[in-house]
Structure 1
Amino acid sequence: MIRQEEKRFIAHMDLDTFFVSVERLRNSSLVGKPLIIGGFGDRAVVSTCSYEARAFGVHSAMPMKLAMRLCPQATVLKGDMDSYSHYSRLVSSIVKENVPLMEKASIDEFYIDLTGVDRFFGCSKFIAEVKEKVRKESGLPISYALASNKLISKVATEDAKPDGKKEIAHGLERDYLAPLKIGRMPGIGEKTSILLQQMGVHTIKLLADIPVPMLYNLLGKNGAELSRKANGIDPSPIIPYTEQKSIGAEETFAQDTINMDFLRAELLKLGERLCFQLRQQKKLTGCVTVKLRYANFDTVSKQLVIPYTASDHILLAKTKELFGKLYDKRLLIRLVGVRFSHLVQGNQQIALFEDTLESVRLYQAMDEIRQRYGERSLYRAITAQEPRNKKGE
């Protein structure tokens, strides 16, 4: 039995159909009606949709043409990433200011560590009041689940939706997971799901009953990890949220230069590399910074807060824009740098209304090539200049 002082209390909060809720907040006439958010045109796809549209079989990543045949009465909106990013940051600040420890898991979901609150205030009452505060101060509905770890709270939040709450008592983790389909378990991808179902494993209970050595032989380290999760065990900690998390890269040149084509190419090369890293880490950035160091060692930088994204064509355009605003002295340059910050966990849903499904798949194919053969195995022609100005070459 777990002693009281060893018990963890972890809440998972998830903004319900986040993009849809923001659109309804901006236009109340959309409330209660089928709503689809995605691109326009022959190759457009669905980014997300309301529960009313889901009742007709519409779902994320579906071709828009098919979605409109299934639900012709739906309202279709392109999506406004500026607004979604604004409300994501607003809710982040509300939650962060009112809880002991918060992890921002994505643009619309949060983990909260309430361990210790049970001794003074009561975790159930505390998290319920946070939910109400989010609703009152942002106008957005949010669901939550309270449990002993991140895994159980995340899975249970799906049962709390829409705009609801759920609690899983300590000691009941395995019982709660047991009847659920294996597709509900985080970490089970499509290939693993197909393999397990071919073995007759359709529920988490059956997965939990498989001996660990057998799962390890079948799936390697991931098999042992899935066994642990299927038994409701998840010791992973809450990672404190900070908007300062970032990735960056810079180049110092052996010879100072004023060659604009070369400078732009170097900046885009750095940005392209960072975009690849973002997608590899399954993250989005909300802020771009460009840095320049002149021949006299004066260093300047300029940053721009942007809608969350990991797409090359958006981030490289912002990088070029910042460089154009920053470089005004017409002096020789010795160093250029790019940094992406305000990082959050990302997902394909956001890319689906920035691009067509074909362009999303193009990014995936390009990244697979880079992952296999190296970051510079595939690149834009503009960045293919000889690195004659780099320091040390």
Structure 2
Amino acid sequence: MEGKQIIHIDLDSFFVSVECRSNPFLYGKPVAIGGSSERGVVASCSYEARRFGVHSAMPGKLAKQLCPELLFIRGDYDSYSKASIEITEMINEAVPVFEKTSIDEFYMDMTGFDDFDGTLAYSKELREKIIKETSLPISFGMSKNKTVSKVATGLAKPNNYKYVNFGDERSFLAPLPVRKLPMIGEKTGESLRKMGVQKVYTLQQMPVQLLQSAFGKQGIMMWEKANAIDNSAIVPYTDRKSLSNEETFDKDTMDVGMLESLLVSMTEDLCFKMRNENFLTGCISVKIRYSDFNTYTQQVKIPYSASDHQLIPQVKLLFKKLYNRRMLIRLIGVRLSKLVRGHQQIHLFNDDENQIQLYQALDHINKKFGNKSVHRAITMGVNPRSFNPFNGMCT
């Protein structure tokens, strides 16, 4: 990895910053973005709010108790998406290779662009240009790999930059709390604390075998990150436009119950894939092809989401509008378009705390044991190829 020059860029309190740009009255105020203050959850908050202990994923009611002056804003993903696209285009014009990991976070590979000092100067100029043209605060970290650069960005905030020279990576990380390392969350941090590990330095000195026995593969990854070992490459940004799923039946069918179950199953699959790849959709389409090969579609625009319980009712409604000929159906499909890079924070705009925890648990299980390990009861046994086309009975 010697000679690598990786920059991590993060837009500071992005949602709040976009809202402040639209409404200058909000500058300097304790602001939270999310659902309503009574049932919602904080998706993002200003630094003024953080001084009161408010943070992301906190129930809105508790946030209000900690900061009675807190200004709660519902959130407008359209405006955030437009701002993200604006910045993405600027980065695309300025650097040879970059990766967009969420709506407000980027990695840039500047290896071979210039020497370290020259790359740092260029990155500072790019940051200043983005701030000038968008009026949005931005921080970046620079080092030889993703892990160290991301940590450096976190320490640079708000609205600043930090670089770590080649050879200084381990000493830079050593005095930091282990929670500063990517992938170490609250539960893992607590487990490490019980083992007497609070600083990265201690993690660096531990036998990797001990961490592996305690945490499995995650323990090896923690040890590597603590020791500034990260060989992960920049994944070049691609602008995916849509995700779709469709099924052509062996036998044409009129079994509405099976068709609805299949649509629910398809939508579950697509939502899981979106959440796994950090996407949100703003438009849903349902397609029907009848036995005479005539094909029809219906679509509807929706608030950006990747939540099954918000998309499935829309899919069912579109199907009911479409299926009005009472003919045998040959093909059915679901398409999600107007995709934008998002983050699970976005779910906090519309979901309460219990719903968010449910999705996190379901996704964790499905990632670990395979998609559809946990799914809605209506989709159990859905196999469109095994249904009789006239009465829906299994053959």
> For this structure pair, what is the TM-score category when the shorter chain's length is used for normalisation?
0.7 to 0.9
Q: Which one of the candidate residues 10, 32, 39 is aligned to 1:36?
A: 32
Distance 1:348 1:132, change over 3 A: same
Deviations 1:146-170 (A, max 9, x none): 1111111111001111111111111
Looking at structure 2, the residues matched to 307 and 187 of structure 1 have their Cα atoms a distance apart, in angstroms, of: 30
Q: What amino acid does structure 2 have at the position aligned with 1:185? A: L
User: 1:165 aligns to what?
Assistant: 161
Q: Which one of the candidate residues 3, 18, 21 is aligned to 1:7?
A: 3
Looking at structure 2, the residues matched to 156 and 317 of structure 1 have their Cα atoms a distance apart, in angstroms, of: 43
Post-superposition offset of 1:298: 6.0
Does 2:64 align with 1:59? no
SS across alignment from 1:122: helix
Looking at structure 1, the residues matched to 364 and 217 of structure 2 have their Cα atoms a distance apart, in angstroms, of: 22
User: 2:216 aligns to what?
Assistant: 220
Post-superposition offset of 1:211: 1.7
Post-superposition offset of 1:63: 2.2
- Do the aligned residues in 2 keep the contact of 1:243 with 1:342 (CA within 8 Å)? no
User: 2:22 aligns to what?
Assistant: 26
Deviations 1:95-151 (A, max 9, x none): 122211110111110000011111599211221222123223333211111111111
TM-score computed with the length of structure 2 as normaliser: 0.85
Looking at structure 1, the residues matched to 268 and 342 of structure 2 have their Cα atoms a distance apart, in angstroms, of: 18
User: 2:372 aligns to what?
Assistant: 375
How many residues in Structure 1 have an aligned counterpart in Structure 2? 388
Looking at structure 2, the residues matched to 212 and 376 of structure 1 have their Cα atoms a distance apart, in angstroms, of: 32
User: 1:153 aligns to what?
Assistant: 149
Deviations 1:351-385 (A, max 9, x none): 11211112222334555676769727541649888
Please, what is the CA RMSD of the aligned residues?
3.3
User: 2:252 aligns to what?
Assistant: 256
User: 1:312 aligns to what?
Assistant: 308
User: 1:286 aligns to what?
Assistant: 281
Post-superposition offset of 1:335: 1.6
Distance 1:52 1:293, change over 3 A: same
Looking at structure 2, the residues matched to 241 and 286 of structure 1 have their Cα atoms a distance apart, in angstroms, of: 18
TM-score computed with the length of structure 1 as normaliser: 0.86
Q: What amino acid does structure 2 have at the position aligned with 1:360? A: I
Looking at structure 1, the residues matched to 43 and 291 of structure 2 have their Cα atoms a distance apart, in angstroms, of: 47
SS across alignment from 1:33: coil
SS across alignment from 1:112: strand
Gap runs ≥5 in structure 2? none
Distance 1:367 1:199, change over 3 A: closer
User: 1:109 aligns to what?
Assistant: 105
User: 2:207 aligns to what?
Assistant: 211
Is the deviation greater in 217-226 or in 45-54? 217-226
Post-superposition offset of 1:239: 0.1
User: 2:176 aligns to what?
Assistant: 180
- Do the aligned residues in 1 keep the contact of 2:40 with 2:353 (CA within 8 Å)? yes
Deviations 1:270-313 (A, max 9, x none): 1122223444x263233555444444556676777765532113
SS across alignment from 1:24: helix
Distance 1:207 1:45, change over 3 A: same
